[in-house]
Structure 1
């Protein structure tokens, strides 16, 4: 299966500004499978970790709905596909970092490894859902800056750019931004939901779609 990271590395950070606005139907099944795993994140990312446990991440990896809103406001005509590609890059790194801090026998490691595998499955379908020529247009400057920050060697990142976040909060961000950027796959049979709105999640909207009702090694 072709992985997104391979195509990105070969393309040197080039993206498509594409006229395609709808999520390919083939994306929905793997996204819902990923969401099935994410529905258990509270148990595995909170209950199995020490209270207030955090890991170090780049500030750009704290990727929230508000980040999407700001980018849409600052870049006129920003295509959703560009944001989807950025979503994959951010969360690919997040999942690897969470796995890296867990010992082999940590009770949440098998769950996280499986979650990362499902995430890669979604990546593969995403890449295969777009033509090869979809990766040859330059990014808007604001997105290129984020991309460059995420791909910079860790030892060259300024100390001021690092942040600490809990594994649970990072997966919350992954889930909410997934619903926002791939909303067609999570359409509700009830009134139309604004998955990109912060107020939606504050009001308990995170339950709208559910297939089922200090950096150190975690102990």
Structure 2
């Protein structure tokens, strides 16, 4: 009798996994809609003083080249997504920390933060990618010994959008 349930349970598990992927892609699509060039330009450049920068850790400047280098080192896609998610969550918090609640970009960054909160349940680090997990731990700990870098808010969100497209273009078409 139990052998008859195995295919059914497998089918239910596959359906559950497919639903999770679709929900993750829905959140990524909403993020893409929020991270359009026009919105990044308006909220992160025009609403800030000229040459305004935010101090972030060196590791929080996550560019497409970093992802390519990590892919060449055979780091798994789930771990790269985990890195992207955690780095950009911290970046958003730092941008929002310099804004007043009545600032025009406050609501924009809050909405981005809410989308990242929804995405949180889908992101985790694979234990075999120790280097990625260590970088994430360093970013989350806000280690004072880490080198700092002054970066424009728009550049940080430009990197976020580019890396997101790299990481999710295959699975969320």
TM norm structure 1: 0.64
Q: Structure 1 segments of 4 or more deviating over 3 A?
A: none
Aligned equivalents of 1:145, 1:116: Cα separation in 2:
23
Aligned CA-pair RMSD: 2.2
Instruction: Choose from 22, 25, 31 the match for 1:25.
Output: 22
The structure 1 residue matched to 2:145, chosen from 158, 166, 169, is 158
* Bigger mean CA deviation after superposition, 138-147 or 107-116: 138-147
Which of 95, 98, 102 is the matching residue for 1:101? 98
Is the 2:47–2:105 contact (alpha carbons within 8 Å) kept by the matching residues of 1?
yes
Report which of the two has the higher share of helix.
2
C-alpha distance in structure 2 between counterparts of 1:141 and 1:117, whole Å: 28
Structure 2 residue matching 1:184: 3-state secondary structure: coil
| Aligned counterpart, 2:8 | none
Using the alignment, how far apart are the partners of 1:68 and 1:53 within structure 2? 26
* Count of residues paired in the alignment: 153
Instruction: After superposition, give the CA deviation of every residue in 1:70-105 in whole Å (9 maximum; x if it has no partner).
Output: 1122x23x2101111111110110111111100121
Shift of 1:138: 2.2
The alpha carbon displacement at 1:177 in A equals: 0.5
Secondary structure, counterpart of 2:27 in structure 1: helix
- Alpha carbons 1:53, 1:166 under 8 Å: kept: yes
Hey, what's the Cα distance between the residues in 1 that align with 2:172 and 2:71? 21
Q: What SS does the corresponding residue of 1:138 show, helix, strand or coil?
A: coil
Aligned to 1:148, the other structure's residue is in SS state helix
Q: Could you say which structure has the larger radius of gyration? A: 2
CA distance in 2, matches of 1:47, 1:91: 21
